[in-house]
């Protein structure tokens, strides 16, 4: 399995599962205990690794969202809980989700070993949100760490993709309307906000995906064949468990 094949196999599963803890019942319950509603805990928890910054910084790191959504949730949330504390709480919820859902996944040790190698090798330069996640300490238990690594590697590619979009001249809002048109309301947009999407837009999106692959490839390139098999097979099993509801 070469680098391109590895990235093609791993990236969609990481993207679709690395956020599984965001609105899990235990995460929502912990947010409520902290005095935060679900959106506030999501924005403050995910963005809290950046520190007590302005909402515009969080929005830049997240991309895709209507800025008003981030401003409202971030500013209200940080009046309740310091962002760094919220970030630590959110990472703890991530680990808890792993313990609750992944404890029986076969081969999880090998997956964690391979995912750790990718995370260690990943260059966070210019990738603010991923840099914040990478700086957070990970738990020692295998299922908790597996979920935290899944979340971190999702931020790795996500942050790299925002850089790639800027490089090819596509705004993140436009990318959102292209890739997730059914989710625009959840991200604070309306049909009236829809940008013009042309064949050139779709072409630039393909270019951005290819550039993203090139940005993340060196980290995955450190894996030997056994580790490549472990990470792909592990991701498949994790997806089966997490998608089961």
Say what percent of the chain tops pLDDT 70. 100
Q: What is the pLDDT of residue 43?
A: 97
Domain count, the chain: 1
Mean pLDDT of the chain: 95
Residue 182 has what DSSP assignment? G
Phi, psi (degrees; rounded to nearest 5) at 190: -125, 170
37-96: per-residue pLDDT in tens? 999 999 999 999 999 999 999 999 999 888 999 999 999 999 999 999 999 999 999 999
Confidence of residue 126 (pLDDT cuts 50, 70, 90): very high
Q: What is the pLDDT of residue 175?
A: 87
Weakest mean pLDDT among 2-11, 57-66, 185-194: 185-194
Q: What is the pLDDT of residue 181?
A: 84
Q: How far, in Å, CA of 189 to CA of 65, rounded?
A: 8
Residue 245 or 170, more confident: 170
Q: What is the pLDDT of residue 217?
A: 97
Q: Is 190 left (phi over 0), alpha (psi -120 to 50) or beta?
A: beta
Q: What is the pLDDT of residue 94?
A: 98
Q: Taking Cα atoms as reference points, which of 207, 126, 129 lies closest to residue 170? A: 207
Q: How far, in Å, CA of 2 to CA of 225, rounded?
A: 9
Residue 192 has what DSSP assignment? G
Say what percent of the chain tops pLDDT 90. 87
Query: Is the pLDDT confidence value at 140 over 90?
Result: yes
Query: Is the pLDDT confidence value at 245 over 80?
Result: no
Q: Taking Cα atoms as reference points, which of 84, 73, 85, 71 lies closest to residue 33? A: 85
Cβ contact 242:21 at 8 Å: no
Q: What is the pLDDT of residue 193?
A: 80
Domain that holds residue 202: 3-242
Query: Is the pLDDT confidence value at 185 over 90?
Result: no
- Mean per-residue pLDDT, 109-125: 98
Q: How far, in Å, CA of 66 to CA of 85, rounded?
A: 25
- Tokens describing residue 208: 């951005």
């Amino acid at each position: 399995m070469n680098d391109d094949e590895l990235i093609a196999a791993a990236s969609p599963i990481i993207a679709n599962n690395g956020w599984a803890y965001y609105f899990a019942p235990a995460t929502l319950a912990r947010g409520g205990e902290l005095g935060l509603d679900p959106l506030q805990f999501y924005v403050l928890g995910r963005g809290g690794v950046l520190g007590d910054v302005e909402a515009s910084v969080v929005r830049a790191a997240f991309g895709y969202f209507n800025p008003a959504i981030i401003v409202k949730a971030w500013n209200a949330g940080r009046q309740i809980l310091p962002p760094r504390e919220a970030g630590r709480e959110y990472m703890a919820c991530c680990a808890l989700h792993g313990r609750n859902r992944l404890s029986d996944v076969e081969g999880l040790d090998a997956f964690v070993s391979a995912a750790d190698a990718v995370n260690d090798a990943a260059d966070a330069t210019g990738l603010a949100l991923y840099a914040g996640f990478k700086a957070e300490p990970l738990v020692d238990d295998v299922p908790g760490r597996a979920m935290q690594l899944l979340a971190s590697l999702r931020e790795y590619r996500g942050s790299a993709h925002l850089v790639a979009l800027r490089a090819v001249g596509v705004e993140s809002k436009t990318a959102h309307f292209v890739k997730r048109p059914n989710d625009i309301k959840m991200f604070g947009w309306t049909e009236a906000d829809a940008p013009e999407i042309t064949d050139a837009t779709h072409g630039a999106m393909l270019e951005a995906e290819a550039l993203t692959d090139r940005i993340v490839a060196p980290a995955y390139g450190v894996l030997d064949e056994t580790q490549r098999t472990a990470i792909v097979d592990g991701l498949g099993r994790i997806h089966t468990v997490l998608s089961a509801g």
